[in-house]
Amino acid sequence: MGKIFITGATGFIGSHLAELCVKKGHKVVAFDRYNPNNDFGWLENSKYKKEIEIILGDIRDYDSVFNAMKGCATIFHLAALIGIPYSYLSPIAYIRTNLEGTYNVLEASKNKKIDQILITSTSETYGNAQYTPIDEKHSLNAQSPYAASKIAADHLSLSYYRSFDLPIKIIRPFNTFGPRQSSRAIIPTIVNQTLSKKNKIKVGNISPTRDFTYVEDTCSAFLEVLKNEKLFGEIVNVGSNNEISIKNIINLVFDKLDINKKIEIVKLRKRPNKSEVDRLVCDNTKIIKNTNWKPKINFDEGLLKTIDWLKNNYNISKHDKYHV
């Protein structure tokens, strides 16, 4: 097997995936956004840094992507703008990064005759659950510009499979959590505010439910889907088939930290009513039936690991103010 090219490799999931690939004996090219400080994100201090070829470029630039792919046989495409609140402020940024960026990966892969391409989707493409658990046949409903950009990228990817026989697989994770996740995400937001000296935490809507998968399990799903020869042109959900409300996560965090605070619902942190996705729970039958994957770390264990990491890295995140 040739080298694995991972876009978005210095970010949350991407960095864990790059490290897992190295541990499994793969040669990895990590691609992420150019910055003037030559900062390698979460790979900067990775113990595997010397074993990873890191290239900084721009997913929005075809030449940058094409040239960085040299010598690679497999693509894991994770690079994306993922913050839903910011997609309300700059929808065009999501079109350029998530849709045009995916086009660049697909076109470069076609021209380089890449062996296999895994495109990363999101459960947000489903919108409000019409039935649960949500399988891959569930209708798609873009309730945010972010979701719309990912639906477009998924369909573009499938069109390349059908039109050019490009060896595409689409992996659709439900909510992933764990160490290194942005402090804007719900679990780090809750934990960091609970750890702070303030007497209350500020959140948005606490009634929605989500299906959470620990980051190590999400990463192992990539490698399992990669190995299966029957999933080309297919979409594969990755999730735990369990759901928990944001309110219950807050209570769990309070309990595990033995801290109790007032919960303040802040309008700024809430999605517009028609944009709120009230319920997401994964039907993971397809991945379990077709691969050797199953989640190994349950939510409770993963939450403890995440809390420990956030406690040990409390000062590195900007959690004192709300960022979209």
User: Tens digit of pLDDT for each residue in 85-98?
Assistant: 999 999 999 999 99
Q: Which two tokens stand for residue 53?
A: 């070829």
pLDDT given for residue 159 in this prediction: 98
pLDDT given for residue 4 in this prediction: 98
One domain for residues 135 and 195: no
pLDDT interval class at 268 (50, 70, 90): confident
Q: Which structural domain, as residue segments, surrounds residue 147?
A: 3-176+214-238
Greatest C-alpha distance within the chain: 57
Selected residue with higher pLDDT from 324 and 268? 268
Asked if residues 222 and 76 have their Cβ atoms less than 8 Å apart, the reply is yes
Asked if residues 73 and 28 have their Cβ atoms less than 8 Å apart, the reply is no
One domain for residues 97 and 187: no
Peptide bond into 91 cis (omega under 30): no
Is 111 contained in some domain? yes
Q: How far, in whole angstroms, is CA 221 from its chain's centroid? A: 12
Instruction: Give me the mean pLDDT over the 56-84 stretch.
Output: 98
Least confident of 12-21, 60-69, 263-272, 303-312: 263-272
Domain of 114, CATH number, reads 3.40.50.720
pLDDT tens, 168-201?
999 999 999 999 999 999 999 999 999 999 999 9
Alpha-carbon distance 320 to 314, whole Å?
Answer: 11
Write the secondary structure of 162-220 as one string of H (helix), E (strand) and C (coil). HHHCCCEEEEEECEEECCCCCCCCHHHHHHHHHHCCCCEEEECCCCCEECEEEHHHHHH
Residue 320 has pLDDT above 70, yes or no: no
pLDDT given for residue 48 in this prediction: 98
Instruction: Give me the mean pLDDT over the 119-134 stretch.
Output: 98
Q: How far, in whole angstroms, is CA 42 from its chain's centroid? A: 14
Is 276 contained in some domain? yes
Is 129 contained in some domain? yes
Is 229 contained in some domain? yes
Selected residue with higher pLDDT from 268 and 29? 29
pLDDT interval class at 318 (50, 70, 90): low
One domain for residues 110 and 163: yes
Is 285 contained in some domain? no
pLDDT given for residue 315 in this prediction: 79
Local structure of 323: helix, strand or coil: coil
One domain for residues 149 and 260: no
pLDDT given for residue 319 in this prediction: 63
Instruction: Give me the mean pLDDT over the 108-119 stretch.
Output: 98
pLDDT given for residue 270 in this prediction: 84
Q: What is the mean pLDDT of the chain?
A: 96
